[in-house]
Amino acid sequence: MKSVLTIAGSDPSGGAGVQRDLKVFTEFGCNGLSVITALTAQNSKIVKGVVPVSGLFVKRQIEALLEEYTVGAVKTGMLATDGIVRTLVMFFRKHSDIKKNLVIDPVITSTSGYLLLEKKGIARLKDELIPLAKVVTPNLYEASVLSGVKIRGIEDVYNAAGEIKKLGCRSVLVKGGHLNTRGKGYGGKVQGMAVDVFYDGREFKVFIAERVKKDLHGSGCILSAAIAAGLAKGDDIKGAIRSAKKYITRLIRDD
């Protein structure tokens, strides 16, 4: 059984964060490992408070796991502080073997608007951590922050993906689930669908899925965790994304 490591915050509701990541890993037939970056007081609707873990203790958690397990993929989620981002950058640079399948979900704020990564951390994420990633999976807001592109339509999503790729990651998947694809300029298979844009520096690929008219708490965590599980099991990046998209579409539909 392949081991997958999530480095993220704790969500006591179980809908997102480490708790949800571990559930996803299990459902993909992987052994889930976890490193906690922060405790949160939240439910599926709102974050009421965050208590970060020190960067040193994050490092100790990872080192303890690596003494026993071989990690096939790593997924990062909520990182909370600049200190934690700095710790991970230093660790991944030193242990290049565990970052070969590094999936970065660049969590910046909660859906309710609570800041989940301090401003210094956002800058370091862009400049130092993202360049180490196999794939970065921002939503539209995160893609706008990372790229500097104001996203209004699908062309802006393409531009944002291109700018994020320039940060040095091997690929980027901009999640367009909240992009309105019913307006002017949309047609054919894209019309009214949920559209994600992938870019690896060579080609753009659009992943199209059914748009389900409901929100699922933790959907970004779930997608990135599913991609990491696929990579750990030997899928290439496009295959991992394809499987993850099918998985989360089914979850949203059945929720």
Report pLDDT for 214: 66
Choose which CATH entry (3.40.1190.20, 3.40.50.720, 3.40.50.620, 3.40.50.150) describes domain 3-254.
Answer: 3.40.1190.20
Q: Tell how far CA 29 is from the center of its chain.
A: 19
In the predicted structure, residue 155 carries a pLDDT above the cut 90: no
Q: Tell how far CA 45 is from the center of its chain.
A: 20
| Average pLDDT estimate for 145-154 | 92
Report pLDDT for 36: 98
- Mean per-residue pLDDT over the chain, rounded: 92
- Burial letters 15-39, b for 16+ CB under 10 A, else e: bbbbbbbbbbbeebebbbbbbbbbb
Report pLDDT for 208: 81
Treating both helix axes as pointing N-terminal to C-terminal, what angle do 219-232 and 17-27 enclose, rounded to 10 degrees? 40
Give me the residues paired with residue 40 across strands.
Answer: 50
69-86 pLDDT per residue, tens: 999 999 999 999 999 999
| Average pLDDT estimate for 181-189 | 55
Report pLDDT for 217: 82
Q: What residues does each domain of the chain span?
A: 3-254
Shortest CA distance to 137 belongs to which of 169, 111, 110? 169
Of 98-107, 114-123, 146-155, 222-231, minimum mean pLDDT range:
146-155
User: What share of the chain in percent tops pLDDT 70?
Assistant: 91
- For the entire predicted model, the pTM comes to 0.94
